[in-house]
Amino acid sequence: MTDFFAGIPTVTYDPSAPMDALVYRHYDADEMINGKRMEDHLRFAVAWWHSFAWPGGDPFGGQTFERPWFGDTMGLARMKTDVAFEMFAILGQPFFCWHDADIRPEGASFAESKRNFEEIIDYIGEKMTGQGTRLLWGTANLFSHRRFMSGAATNPDPEVFAWSAATVKNCLDATHKLGGENYVLWGGREGYETLLNTDLKRERAQAGRFLQMVVEHKHKIGFKGALLIEPKPQEPTKHQYDYDVATVYGFLKEFGLEGEVQMNIEQGHAILAGHSFEHELALATSLGIFGSIDMNRNDYQSGWDTDQFPNNVPETALAYYEVLRAGGFTTGGTNFDAKLRRQSLDPQDLIAAHVGAMDICARSFKAAAAMHADGGLEAARAARYAGWDGEAAKTWLQGSTLDEIEAQVAAGGIDPQPRSGRQEILENYVSRFV
Ligand code: XLS
Ligand code: NI
Ligand code: NI
């Protein structure tokens, strides 16, 4: 037991609490929605990196947080683990996620890092058993250390490729050992800064073989969770190979992996790619590769991945609406890939950030579920495409040739009349729920 969160009680559901009380006003884990507990719908997770490893830097200044567990020893890594599980308990968080580098100190050699990692994984395993908190996903940090500056799987140096493959093997093994429900691959520096020094074709082929090996290893060890790729268009590299859902789908098809790998879609990454979050979710669902979400928000002015906690109900509700249309989460969940602002120094800020985010998500989810149950958007959509139920229209999609269609149109009787898309009416409808 540490004293980091001393004086902060367990957060309870109490909508009538005074204004600055740290309580849930919308998130009631046990509330039933469509026959399922809210906790089981939303499947919240804390991101270890932002909450416990990030020092509070920005491009103009370094560390602002002074956490008692900062430092590179195993004792401190254990303290960090203790604090993490204390926070999960205070919040009633069902899940968490990590990168290897968030939880263990880097060793002087691969072997030492591996020993540190395995020791902490066992320590985390004991904590999980004691508390019932589960692992949503594990992942490897193949982007922070300088050895990865020119990429991991896509590095021009084959030794970095090998180091990365070995690291992913250990992280996937550890995820499996802890009963993790997914394993995530975000291509941190899998991209390039300039074509002047880059063999793009070769780098993409390296990434393809790398991913095939990860899939092979998953089956070899019997990991039943999902493998998820997290698309992102830029930052850190100028051109990332896994730009967005559509790009990653093309990549999966090229390497024969579209039935093996799904998507972890992040709000801020969707915005950076010039999409909306719900566009990325709907596209992944339509391609049969929707998996999980990283919930956060970007500052719309900065054009950068600011990883703020969500606070916009109408936007978040439209995202959860797409999750519901996908049938809800199976192995996936809502990972808060979000960090405090660097002036938010206090332990209480960490709790308040998650409480607020969980409430925003709960409120949004309830709005989305009500809208889904009401069915207004689905009815409007069905009406808009109703023409496709006609016999002639069906044959136009199945077997007709241009010649045949031309003959039918030329014969007369086909005279398309524009119809309203009714966007404002549908926006007014959504406003009733959010
Ligand atoms: C960075 C990514 C990262 C992944 C995990 O922008 O969001 O945090 O979620 O490597
Ligand atoms: Ni991100
Ligand atoms: Ni993320």
pLDDT (tens place) for every residue of the chain, 434 residues total: 999 999 999 999 999 999 989 999 999 999 999 999 999 999 999 999 999 999 999 989 999 999 999 999 999 999 999 999 999 999 999 999 999 999 999 999 999 999 999 999 999 999 999 999 999 999 999 999 999 999 999 999 999 999 999 999 999 999 999 999 999 999 999 999 999 999 999 999 999 999 999 999 999 999 999 999 999 999 999 999 999 999 999 999 999 999 999 999 999 999 999 999 999 999 999 999 999 999 999 988 887 889 999 999 999 999 999 999 999 999 999 999 999 999 999 999 999 999 999 999 999 999 999 999 999 999 999 999 999 999 999 999 999 999 999 999 999 989 999 999 999 999 999 999 99
* pTM score: 0.97
**Domain tally for the chain?**
2
| Distance separating alpha carbons of residues 63 and 57, to the nearest angstrom | 5
Q: Model confidence over 313-367: pLDDT tens digits?
A: 999 999 999 999 999 999 999 999 999 999 999 999 999 999 999 999 999 999 9
Q: Select from 140, 68, 66, 74 the least CA-distant residue to 105.
A: 74
Do 370 and 396 have their domain in common? no
Q: Quick: pLDDT tens for 302-322.
A: 878 899 999 999 999 999 999
Bridge partners for 334 per DSSP: 44, 293
Of all protein residues, the one whose alpha carbon is nearest to atom 5 of ligand 1 is 186
Is residue 121 a contact partner of residue 90, using CB atoms and an 8 Å limit? no
Residue 319 shares a structural domain with residue 185: yes
| CA 198 to mean position of chain CA atoms | 29
Indicate whether 277 and 411 sit together in one domain.
Answer: no
Question: Could you please report the per-residue DSSP string of 108-165?
Answer: SSHHHHHHHHHHHHHHHHHHHHHH--EEEEEE---SSSGGGTT-STT-SSHHHHHHHH
Q: Are 346 and 415 in a shared domain?
A: no
Give me the CATH number covering residue 190.
Answer: 3.20.20.150
Ligand in nearest proximity to the CA of 141? 1
**Same structural domain, 286 and 392:** no
**Within this chain, do residues 206 and 244 fall inside the same structural domain, yes or no?**
yes
Q: Is any atom of ligand 1 closer than 6 Å to the C-beta of 294?
A: yes
Looking from the CA of residue 266, the nearest atom of ligand 1 is 7
Ligand 1 atom at minimal distance to the Cα of residue 50:
8
Structural domain span for residue 101: 32-374
Residues 161 and 216 in one domain: yes
Burial of 116 (0-12, 13-18, 19+ CB in 10 A): buried
209 falls within a domain: yes
- β-bridge mates for residue 384, sequence order: none
Pull the structure tokens for residue 230: 């997290």
315 CB near ligand 1 (under 6 Å) = no
